Amino acid sequence: MAESGEGLGTVPEHERILQEIESTDTACVGPTLRSVYDDQPNAHKKFMEKLDACIRNHDKEIEKMCNFHHQGFVDAITELLKVRADAEKLKVQVTDTNRRFQDAGKEVIVQTEDIIRCRIQQRNITTVVEKLQLCLPVLEMYSKLKEQMSAKRYYSALKTMEQLENVYFPRVSQYRFCQLMVENLPKLREDIKEISMSDLKDFLESIRKHSDKIGETAMKQAQQQKTFSVTLQIKQNNVKFGKNMYINDRIPEESSEIVLKHTFEEEEENEEEVLTVQDLVDFSPVYRCLHIYSVLGDEEAFENYYRKQRKKQARLVLQPQSNMHETVDGYRRYFTQIVGFFVVEDHILHVTQGLVTRAYTDELWNMALSKIIAVLRAHSSYCTDPDLVLELKNLIVIFADTLQGYGFPVNRLFDLLFEIRDQYNETLLKKWAGVFRDIFEEDNYSPIPIVNEEEYKIVISKFPFQDPDLEKSFPKKFPMSQSVPHIYIQVKEFIYASLKFSESLHRSSTEIDDMLRKSTNLLLTRTLCSCLLNLIRKPHIGLTELVQIIINTTHLEQACKYLEDFITNITNISQETVHTTRLYGLSTFKDARHAAEGEIYTKLNQKIDEFVQLADYDWTMSEPDGRASGYLMDLINFLRSIFQVFTHLPGKVAQTACMSACQHLSTSLMQMLLDSELKQISMGAVQQFNLDVIQCELFASSEPVPGFQGDTLQLAFIDLRQLLDLFMVWDWSTYLADYGQPASKYLRVNPNTALTLLEKMKDTSKKNNIFAQFRKNDRDKQKLIETVVKQLRSLVNGAACARGEMFLPTEATTGVQLLPSSGRSQYRILTVETRQTR
Least confidently predicted of 339-343, 511-515, 696-700: 511-515
Q: Is the dihedral angle over the CA atoms 523, 529, 535, 537 positive or is it negative?
A: negative
**Residue-wise pLDDT tens digits, 682-694:** 889 999 999 999 9
Residue 221 burial (C-beta neighbours within 10 Å; 0-12, 13-18, 19+): middle
Helix ranges, 614-717 (H): 630-645, 651-673, 683-701
Instruction: Among 423-432, 587-596, 653-662, 669-678, name the one with the lowest average pLDDT.
Output: 587-596
Q: Which H/E stretch holds residue 813?
A: strand 813-820
Q: Cα–chain-centroid distance for residue 690? A: 69
Q: What is the pLDDT of residue 828?
A: 34
Instruction: Please answer whether residues 497 and 399 qualify as being in contact, where contact means their C-beta atoms are separated by less than 8 angstroms.
Output: no
pLDDT at 489: 93
**Best CA proximity match to 591, nearest among 562, 550, 563:** 550
Q: Report the C-alpha gap between 174 and 353 in whole angstroms.
A: 40
Q: How confident is the model at residue 101 (pLDDT cuts 50, 70, 90)?
A: confident
pLDDT of 2 reads 41
pLDDT at 647: 76
- For residue 55, count CB atoms less than 10 angstroms from its CB and return exposed for 0-12, middle for 13-18, buried for 19 or more: exposed
- The whole-angstrom separation of Cα 759 and Cα 483 is 57
518-540 confidence digits (pLDDT tens): 888 888 888 888 898 898 888 88
Answer whether 829's CB lies under 8 Å from 737's CB: yes
Count of C-beta atoms within a 10 Å radius of residue 58 = 10
User: What is the rounded distance in angstroms from the CA atom of residue 761 to the CA atom of residue 436?
Assistant: 58
Q: What is the pLDDT of residue 803?
A: 31
| Overall average pLDDT of the 106-120 stretch | 89
CA-closest candidate to residue 44, choices 33, 53, 55, 59:
33
pTM: 0.64
Task: Report whether 26 contacts 59 (CB < 8 A).
Answer: no
- β-strand partners of 820: 827
**Per-residue pLDDT at 780 exceeds 90:** no
Confidence of residue 125 (pLDDT cuts 50, 70, 90): very high
Contact 509, 572 (CB under 8 A): yes
